[in-house]
Structure 1
């Protein structure tokens, strides 16, 4: 029998330890546990909050800003969100221990409808990418609360309290590598100096092609943009989307992304590439995670001790998991569990018998004291409406 909002039951998502290892392979067996503290960055009765990876995270020491999408909470197949979907932010000035929800004016949404690139202009004064309160927010099309096929950006000088924009990627859409493409990137950028920023994007030919990922840059403070290089190949079998990239040295970069096979028997993955020449060329590095169903994007951080940490939502079992690498992403250590108490008000399982573990899409930063702070969307017995949760631990 199909459940409606008048007939709702509480379903506990089975923990991995009760499932046969042969179902998911040895690499899915968690090998380590953590001493983790949990917080909440955004919650509101009757409202759904989701997808930090679609919206971005920014950090200035112990000041952390995370973006997410908010809508009405409605139990249904797929995502439990309905109505208008707004892009909001939460701010912490104590390393993620406490949070304040904020909704700045002139940020992605107008008063009457979803943001559709309305009012985009060309930037006329260069941005100082090294300003102490600088934040850049990329927007494009193809995900919740954003719909603009040529993309653009907002920027802030006061840690996200106020924003300037929306601005065009001036000069980009005419580039031979991107002409006719639809842009669908998330916010993934690396400041090089006051005038120079590298931005990782995803793009697809027309509106139906498979997305691939590449790098663009501005060397004049955002006045114009140029294409640098493709990272992933053009391939009709998979979409390459939802990245997070870290810089190891002046010329070394490691890029992680969500590889989704839609029309194939192949399993989706989280994979990495590496560049050793300043993003001009890229080579496949490693696979972090194989995801049997319900794939999830990665959050990647270069730790103070030289290791990498990559985390992701495992929707197969309703957990937030991760791995460390001690060799700059060439290999990954045992999988560890960050959180495993997912519970939600759910509609019926889908046609394949899967419960909708609607969670994950993390972003992550490392505090000055060394602790990691992960932000993701989650639901528990106490708070069954999806909210933005925070986990803090020592790596």
Structure 2
């Protein structure tokens, strides 16, 4: 229907005056004329691919991993400052294709969310307009090129090679030039810098012509079809076609070029019969008749390049040069005799469904290869990092050598299957039918950790208690969820506190609400870890959300600088639990619409890539996870930030491997930033910012007292406690309205059963801003008050 409307518009635009138009001019055409007319119209449609796409430098959240469902690698590159960039195809190996780029600042260990997208699709177009293949290349000037094709459908018979260039690829905010069209065709592999200084770009103008509706289009380009080479002698300002090799059974060519030491050029190309080769003795102007390569390979992309050592690197499928088993067994080889023989055979990935290697060599000689795995299902883009010595040894031996490093993975299909919140037809109890014990006015219980002033807002805090039962640390931020840095110590169980301790300088440039944990890893090694980062208000709260951590190996005397830990989450984890006899730590955080989970097997030094485990209505779910006394069950309490529902709860009975769909909690546990501790082995204290609109303590810092069975069974529990009064709330404020700025907190239980609850709060009326305070109580005291 779309194309018929477009054809009608074209017909009406023809030059004949209206009175001279036959009622239906198509009826008077012969079949040959009709076909010629169809081709003419489709070539006009193909002109829509001459419109340059606009680089999208703010692609989130629309192009976040949770919105993507496909992954086919394009390439990987390193920029002068050491940043790695990767590019892949999303949308499908189809007319729906578009490009996505991300980056890594730690040598590929962790990768950002998508940073750049090239998507030229539009609902107003009569056909799909795809960006399907291309490459990433750092030129000798240090500029990062993104070279790509743009065509209507998969290939409209003409295609088009385009480039956008980034002059500051290592900057905080890389900028990309307006794309410019270089020539026809498509390109998949990087340019080769020749000994003459010329840059040679391999470009395929497929000999098969246009596909499907575009079959027969642009026959005028037929003399130029083949495995072309374009050359720039002015550092990429202009490009000109120099020549082309012709291969039988063409299949996108995907050709690569190596300059031999004698100055001749060696071209290898993909065909429907495997790799074929051709040579040029005149700089690419003419090419020899194609011949079958001794390198046996499936119909798939390969990678070949000259190394600094003078050897040639080959990445292919198969455990030998003469064999392959389809798109599996990706291996690395070296040749010291210009490709006559090959040594090594390092197995980069043994699995099936792997393909499309691309790579580069870093200044220190390290080799980097990207490839994809199961494009339509897993959609993983992966990286291997290794050395020439590794290739010859046929194993990863180097200190940095490593395989199967994840660059990206689309999540849309997976996330569609996640347990998700659905409102129950049975409304949870909106009223709070629990007694309240009010301790907020009993100031003898209170201690000041950090007093607010007229200019200093002492913000969101967290604590950790050491095994001696007396030494505590509190970390907090300056400003509302802003810069961390303050860390104080108490040696009398939180009654008195030091001034802020010396910490590394980059703490003060790391934002958000800190979380302190004492983590015990395999072998009983204990460390203190301060987590921070995630949501950063200096970026307007926009993604990405990288978490950071600092480690103390000496019980808090000294701390490391804050470094990214590879976990993505909006808030640092309030809960980290130990499983498998201390060999597996699990943390929980959140991203907009999801609860996420990450694991560590080395005591918290390194963390796995996050796994989204639950879908929730909004952001900031801030999960708090509590294990049952026997350890067989887990309950997760979550903030519900859309304010349309009560707080949420989910359960796991397999040590956090799977979770039940979230459901609403009763009003008495509805709040933000839940934290929980057992007291005396069986009873639970759960503290939070009260957000139940039916609550008389709405907007204040409160706690719930009950048992795990109450949470599991939806029972009311014992009672609630008002811990601190938020002095920003006025007497006239009704529940559900007014200020609620308090309650990011933590609980510590002393050896005698005393609970120390620490929070940030506007403690008293007056000009002073928020303070960090704690209060202390015992359950036998609050039990007794309840009886009275």
> If the length of structure 2 is used for normalisation, what is the TM-score?
0.36
Counterparts of 1:1-395 in structure 2, within 5 Å, are 27-28=431-432, 31-33=435-437, 37-46=445-454, 47-52=456-461, 56-60=462-466, 61-71=469-479, 85-106=483-504, 108-110=506-508, 114-115=509-510, 130-132=524-526, 134-142=527-535, 149-169=545-565, 183-187=569-573, 188-192=575-579, 196-203=584-591, 210-222=592-604, 224-227=606-609, 230-233=612-615, 235=616, 237-248=617-628, 249-261=630-642, 266-267=644-645, 269-283=646-660, 287-288=664-665, 290=667, 296-314=672-690, 317-328=698-709, 329-330=711-712, 331-339=715-723, 341-344=725-728, 354-381=737-764, 384-395=768-779
Distance 1:143 1:244, change over 3 A: farther
Pairwise CA RMSD: 3.9
CA distance in 1, matches of 2:510, 2:716: 39
| Unaligned segments of structure 1, at least 5 residues | 1-24, 72-78, 118-125, 173-181, 204-209
* Deviation per residue, 1:158-184 (Å, 9 max, x gap): 3334212433435x6xxxxxxxxx532
2:345 corresponds to: none
Q: Give the structure with higher Rg (CA).
A: 2
Structure 2 residue matching 1:391: 3-state secondary structure:
strand
CA distance in 2, matches of 1:138, 1:86: 10
* Deviation per residue, 1:254-275 (Å, 9 max, x gap): 322212116xxx23x3333232
How far the C-alpha of 1:86 sits from its partner, in A, is 3.5
**Which moves more between the two structures, 337-346 or 194-203?**
337-346
CA distance in 1, matches of 2:523, 2:605: 12
CA distance in 1, matches of 2:751, 2:627: 18
Q: Which is helix-richer, 1 or 2?
A: 2
CA distance in 2, matches of 1:220, 1:197: 8
CA distance in 1, matches of 2:473, 2:463: 6
CA distance in 2, matches of 1:129, 1:107: 32
How far the C-alpha of 1:135 sits from its partner, in A, is 1.6
- Are the equivalent residues in 2 in contact too, given 1:246–1:302 (CA < 8 A)? no
Structure 2 residue matching 1:102: 3-state secondary structure:
coil
* Deviation per residue, 1:257-304 (Å, 9 max, x gap): 212116xxx23x3333232211101225875554999x5221111232
How far the C-alpha of 1:388 sits from its partner, in A, is 0.9
More contact order relative to length (CA 8 Å, sep ≥ 6):
1
- Are the equivalent residues in 2 in contact too, given 1:270–1:297 (CA < 8 A)? no
How far the C-alpha of 1:360 sits from its partner, in A, is 1.5
Distance 1:194 1:318, change over 3 A: closer
Q: Which is strand-richer, 1 or 2?
A: 1
CA distance in 1, matches of 2:705, 2:612: 26
Distance 1:372 1:145, change over 3 A: farther
Distance 1:144 1:31, change over 3 A: farther
- Are the equivalent residues in 2 in contact too, given 1:229–1:279 (CA < 8 A)? no
Structure 1 residue matching 2:639: 3-state secondary structure:
strand
How far the C-alpha of 1:44 sits from its partner, in A, is 4.2
Structure 1 residue matching 2:431: 3-state secondary structure:
helix
- Are the equivalent residues in 1 in contact too, given 2:529–2:549 (CA < 8 A)? yes
2:298 corresponds to: none
CA distance in 1, matches of 2:523, 2:638: 24
Distance 1:292 1:282, change over 3 A: closer
Structure 2 residue matching 1:109: 3-state secondary structure:
helix
- Are the equivalent residues in 2 in contact too, given 1:28–1:335 (CA < 8 A)? no
